Amino acid sequence: MSATFPVTGPEPHALGEGLELVCPAGSLPALKAAIDNGADCVYLGFRDATNARNFAGLNFDAQSIAKGIQYAHDHGAKVLLALNTYPQPSGWKLWREAVDKAASAGVDAVIMADPGLMAYARSKHPELRLHLSVQGSATNYKAIQFYVEHFGISRVVLPRVLSITQVEQVCEQVPAEVEVFGFGSLCVMVEGRCALSSYATSESPNTHGVCSPAKYVRWQHTNTGLDSRLNNILIDRYAADEHAGYPTLCKGRFIVAGERYYALEEPTSLNTLELIPQLIKIGVSAIKIEGRQRSPAYVAQVTRVWRTAIDAAQANPSRYSVRPGWSSELNKVAEGQQHTLGAYHRPWK
């Protein structure tokens, strides 16, 4: 475990105790919103390409991360730092220094995808706890075992492509904690392997830290509606009464065989509230909420619901059920105002 700042409040719990609620913190206000509403851990990133949510106005500099860590530890919560992009030779110094900054800041774990960076962290900061990022795209126990044996990974974040049965098999077979996504935007691609944004902009999310970089996004009012474009590729066209979404290729509406529809993926949010008792039973260590690019209000609202639900499931799993009020609250912030169990639910499996 990494060193931590002295705290004056509750002693932070050890990572891996019970089912943890891991919430997004794209800013200091979002971090405080998550912790104030019951997050066990928050995850965040530096203001550069070392993290996969490298949007302008998000993330942390040295001063804000120090404040965030202090606030978290004062309230008994942990801070996980995402260094989950892949350094290129020309940028190796930036990623290496990010590991050093994370260790000196006192984060409780670093979330990584690149083996070279893991090797550096392991040799330079052996006390630093390492988590395997979802961007590492490890979907089976053999792959995860490799990272455990060679880099001492303590936890793996599973991609959102596994059924609940497959998650259970991973939990049974790997000597590491397992973290799964529970709520938030859902990507049809296997994390760490998507090349759509690279195709459109020549900048890979895995190296530049952002899918559909804002500098390539264009909005244009036309006689037929509001056009959203990514590097001049028409992603969608919205009528006056439609809510316009951020232009990403996978969630655009395209004309295929004369029909205009979401050809790759319809906007919807993953929501696994109903699976909480089952996730606890099979040995999942943590549930992650997606949304570092979302507002502090979103973070507060989702964290509050999930804290209540997890507490209810742990207190009496046999009598647990999803309350209508929880669903109505999450409906307000769900992408496309609809939910799915995604790959977790495969009745034919």
3-state secondary structure of 177: strand
Whether the pLDDT of residue 343 is over 90: the answer is no
For residues 3-21, give the mean pLDDT. 57
Which ranges in the chain belong to alpha helices (H)?
28-36, 62-74, 92-105, 115-124, 141-151, 164-173, 196-201, 205-208, 276-282, 296-315, 324-331
Tell me, what's the pLDDT at 204? 80
For residues 198-203, give the mean pLDDT. 87
Strands 20-24 vs 286-289: parallel, antiparallel or unpaired: parallel
The backbone torsions φ and ψ at residue 67, rounded to the nearest 5 degrees and listed phi first, read -65, -40
User: Pick the residue with more confidence: 320 or 200?
Assistant: 320
Residue from 127, 186, 125, 134 nearest 156 by CA = 134
Taking each helix axis as running N to C, give the angle between helix 324-331 and helix 296-315, from 0 to 180 degrees, rounded to the nearest 10.
160
Tell me, what's the pLDDT at 25? 97
- Alpha-carbon distance of 43 to 40, in angstroms, equals 10
Half-sphere CA count of 232, side-chain side, radius 13 A: 1
- Alpha-carbon distance of 100 to 50, in angstroms, equals 13
For residues 251-274, give the mean pLDDT. 90
Tell me, what's the pLDDT at 164? 94
pLDDT tens, residue by residue, 96-120: 999 999 999 999 999 999 999 999 9
Tell me, what's the pLDDT at 349? 59
- pTM of the shown model: 0.89
For residues 266-287, give the mean pLDDT. 94
Token pair 């639910």 is found at: 345
Structure tokens belonging to residue 98: 């990010």
Whether the pLDDT of residue 88 is over 70: the answer is yes
For residues 29-36, give the mean pLDDT. 98
Tell me, what's the pLDDT at 9? 41
Domains of the chain: 20-186+268-344 (3.20.20.70), 202-262 (no CATH)
Q: Cα angle vertex 251, ends 212, 87, to 5°?
A: 35
Please state, rounded to an integer, the average pLDDT across all residues of the chain: 90
Calculate what percentage of the chain has a pLDDT beyond 70.
Answer: 94
- Alpha-carbon distance of 272 to 277, in angstroms, equals 10
pLDDT tens, residue by residue, 61-86: 999 999 999 999 999 999 999 999 99
Spell out the residues 6+ positions from residue 200 whose beta carbon is closer than 8 angstroms to its own: 212, 216, 230, 231, 233, 249
Whether the pLDDT of residue 6 is over 60: the answer is no
For residues 164-168, give the mean pLDDT. 95
Strands 217-222 vs 225-230: parallel, antiparallel or unpaired: antiparallel
